[in-house]
Amino acid sequence: MPPTRFGQSMHLGIEMAATLVVGGGVGWYLDQWLDTKPWLLIVFLFLGIGAGLSNAFRLARRYSAEVAQQEADKAGEPPVEEDE
């Protein structure tokens, strides 16, 4: 069964939140361990934001290609090639 738009949106939201939590958690832990408060927390939060945005753009591009392919299939056009 293909994923629904709701499922895709939930996947994207959870992935964005997870990258922030993991980045913040790693930064906080390293700050506690190395006594560098708050610098590593800030650095790893930004790394988490970057990873989350990168994943969001990648997923959005894939979902967009899937929708375009489905529309092309309905219209009877030849398949659209992905650029990856």
Whether the per-residue pLDDT at 3 is higher than 80: the answer is no
Give the range of the structural domain holding residue 35, as residue numbers without chain letter. Answer: 5-75
Number of independent structural domains in the chain: 1
Closest to 14 (Cα-Cα) out of 65, 55, 46, 62? 55
Closest to 19 (Cα-Cα) out of 57, 46, 43, 52? 52
Per-residue pLDDT at 5? 78
Instruction: Specify if 82 maps to a domain.
Output: no
Per-residue pLDDT at 84? 58
Closest to 60 (Cα-Cα) out of 18, 17, 23, 16? 16
Instruction: Specify if 46 maps to a domain.
Output: yes
Instruction: Specify if 80 maps to a domain.
Output: no
pTM of the entire predicted model: 0.75
